Structure 1
Amino acid sequence: MRTYLLRRLLQAVFVLWAAYTVSFGVLFLLPGDPATIMAAGGGDASTVTPAQTRALRHQYGLDQPLAEQYGTRLLHALHGDLGRSVRNGVPVTRLLSHDLPTTVQLAVCALLLALVLGSAVALLASWTRSGPLRQFLLSLPALGVSAPTFWVGLVLVQLFSFRWHVFPAFGDEGLDSLVLPSVTLALPGAALIAQVLAKSLRTALAEPYVQTALAKGANRRRVLFGHALRNASIAPLTLVGIMIGNLLAGAVVVESVFARAGIGRETAAAVTAQDIPVVQGVVVLGAVTFVLTTLAVDLLLPLLDPRITATRKPTVRT
């Protein structure tokens, strides 16, 4: 286990370095000049003088060679300093810590909702004896994955806010304002979970031990929930780490559609203004979340299937 944790730790360090490096390179390939955008302050960039641009570039180190900028920023990041926003001069860590609770609240609600909806669809499709109902339930995941997130959000706002006046359309005050964004963000993940879990349940229900349990008189509910579900849940559980990354990416769209404060809106504004420190801070935050989530999932998998641990044990030679 110690060797496994050390290997995963090294992989985590590599993932964080790669995420930081790729984001740094991509942001510098974008057209435009961050100093000019910052000097314009959201107005007409043609009114910005070259002297103003040069002063801002020197102030934020943008006039240094690219390799020197990368080395300096990376060294500071290793000490926990992600720099300051070029838009308002606020430290990136303070911006992220201020916006993170709202996004975490949205992501956790969406993740729980995705798990409940996806599992319910897959279990009902595996439980029912009705062929048409099963086909209908199995067709829902494809629809959920293909529907664009922004379109789903606009449809929900149109129906539940403007037409039926059930939930507020915008803002982030109160639990009722969390319902529509959570549903919008959860649907793609719920569709993915339902698709994978339904396939895993079909495979598990066809195993010999299930047929043996049925032959011994076990009812379908006990076989489904007591035997097949435990083995079938391994594949959906491995998707949790990927889903966390998707939730953070989807928060950019959802928080923009519903005008919610959070990491998503901050990221959209930072990309528009080419605020490199803020964007890199968000990328590092997403990479850390992904690494920690996948590590937790890998440690939980042996609890569901002890064979995973057994396959990692070295062979003892005599």
Structure 2
Amino acid sequence: MAAYILRRLIQAVLILIGVSFVTFVLLYLVPADPARQIAGRSATAETVANIRAQLGLDQPFYVQYWRYFTGMIQGDLGRSYLQKTEVAELIAARLPATLQLMGGAIVWELLLGLTTGIVAALKRGTWVDNTLMVASFIGVSAPQFVVGILLLYVFAVLLGWFPIGGYGTFAHLILPSFTLGILGAGWYSRMMRSSMLDVLRQDYIRTARAKGLDRVRIVLRHALPNAVLPVIAMIGIDVGLFMSGIVVVESVFGWPGIGQLAWQAIQRVDIPIIMGVTLVSAVAIVLGNLLADLIAPFIDPRIKLR
């Protein structure tokens, strides 16, 4: 396992280098001028040119990227153009809130997705199955900003059960994490149903039934550990979906995470922050996939890491 982890970490480093290069190229090609954003609309051309020179934006692409790359491998993600603060410090201050939101979303999507998927498989062809699958389809299709606004209006404004926005207590976490988790719950529900139906057709399940084992034990002990493997593998991929959805959800709920930081940076063309958040998101995706791979053998000992 140590050799496997080492190999995956080497692959992760190469992936992060590739992500940094592609992101830097895209930001370099963006027509918006960060120097103009900093100087303001009324600034003279000379002032803008001076700011570009101070930031090194007047240098060729390969010079700019090499300077960023050499800083990145030393842990230096640069300095925000507008906030005049180290990007690493800005991300470190916001990251705990984002991780808390992602953790809550994972709990929601697993709780809702696995439960509805199992029930739908056991009630295959009934109105319960059809209702749950329609609900999962709606969860997958509904835009997160619409879901977030509706939840805020119903549960925060009309009923007053939760705060309208902000951060700091468990009550603040429920609505944004639920909004973020609905999409994954819809996918997990459909995947879990399909996987569970496939497992329930296997010979060892029929053998367990023939031995007289009760249905609950068959489902929880024999069927679920095998049916849940595809869902576990999807968790790492979901981290990437979370990082894209977090930008919307954090903006709707006023959640002070890196998604909100990234959105503000995009509006102001603050390239160092955009690069930093992108790299942190890439790290989260890589580590999420690695963690999912490491968990799988504990669920099914037949899986070997090579």
What amino acid is aligned across from residue 216 of structure 1 in structure 2?
Answer: K
How far apart are the structure 1 equivalents of 2:89 and 2:164?
Answer: 28
CA distance in 1 between counterparts of 2:87 and 2:218 reads 52
- State the distance in 2 between where 1:129 and 1:3 align: 43
Superimposed CA distance per residue, residues 31-65 of structure 1 (whole angstroms, 9 cap, x where no aligned partner):
2100101111xxxx2x0111221121111111111
Higher mean C-alpha displacement, 138-147 vs 93-102: 138-147
The 3-state SS of whatever aligns with 1:31 is coil
Give per-residue Cα distances to partners, 1:143-183, cap 9 Å, x unaligned. 11100000101111111122222212122242222221111
- In the alignment, the residues of structure 2 paired with residue 230 and residue 120 of structure 1 have an alpha-carbon distance, to the nearest angstrom, of 14
Structure 2 counterpart of 1:306 = 301
Does residue 145 of structure 1 match 2:140? yes
Q: What is the match of residue 4 of structure 2? A: 4
Give 3-state SS (helix, strand or coil) of 1:217's partner.
Answer: coil
* Alpha-carbon separation, structure 2, partners of 1:278 and 1:129: 49
Could you tell me which of 32, 50, 61 is aligned with 1:66? 61
Name the counterpart of 1:28.
Answer: 28
The 2-side partners of 1:133 and 1:114 are apart by: 19
- In 1, distance between residues paired with 2:65 and 2:163? 44
TM-score by length of 2: 0.96
Q: Distance in 1 between matches of 2:145 and 2:117?
A: 25
Q: Deviations over 1:121-153 (max 9, x none)?
A: 112223347711112112222111100000101
Secondary structure class of the residue paired with 2:302: helix
Aligned to 1:255: 250
Partner letter of residue 157 of structure 1?
L
Q: Distance in 2 between matches of 1:184 and 1:172?
A: 15
Offset, 1:273:
1.2
- Count of residues in Structure 1 that have an aligned counterpart in Structure 2: 306
Equivalent position SS for 1:84: coil
TM-score, normalised relative to structure 1: 0.92
Structure 2 residue 220 is matched with structure 1 residue 225? yes
1:213 aligned residue (208, 211, 225): 208
Which amino acid letter does the alignment assign opposite residue 149 of structure 1? Q
Distance in 1 between the 2:201 and 2:18 partners? 42
- 2-structure distance, mates of 1:189, 1:39: 42
Distance 2:275 2:207 in 1: 55
Q: Please list every run of 5 or more consecutive structure 1 residues that lacks an aligned counterpart in the other structure.
A: 313-318
Give the drift of 1:195: 1.4
Gaps of 5+ in 2: none
- After superposition, the C-alpha distances for 1:250-279 in whole angstroms (9 at most, x for unaligned) are 110011111221101100011111111111
The runs of 4+ residues in structure 1 deviating greater than 3 Å are 127-130
Aligned partners of 2:128, 2:199: CA distance in 1, in Å?
Answer: 21
Residue 119 (structure 2) aligns with: 124
Partner Cα separation in structure 2 for residue 96 and residue 55 of structure 1: 28
Deviation at 1:293, TM superposition (A): 1.6
| Partner of residue 233, structure 2 | 238
In the TM superposition, what is the alpha-carbon distance from 1:6 to its structure 2 partner? 3.5
Q: Identity percentage over the alignment?
A: 39
**What is the aligned-residue RMSD (CA, Å)?**
1.5
Equivalent in 82, 88, 91 of residue 87 of structure 1: 82
Matched, 1:195 2:190: yes
Counterpart-to-counterpart distance in 1, 2:2 and 2:179: 41
Deviations 1:287-317 (A, max 9, x none): 111111211211121122222218x4xxxxx
Q: Deviations over 1:99-137 (max 9, x none)?
A: 111111111111111111111111222334771111211
1:94-133 → structure 2 map (5 Å cutoff) = 94-128=89-123, 131-133=126-128
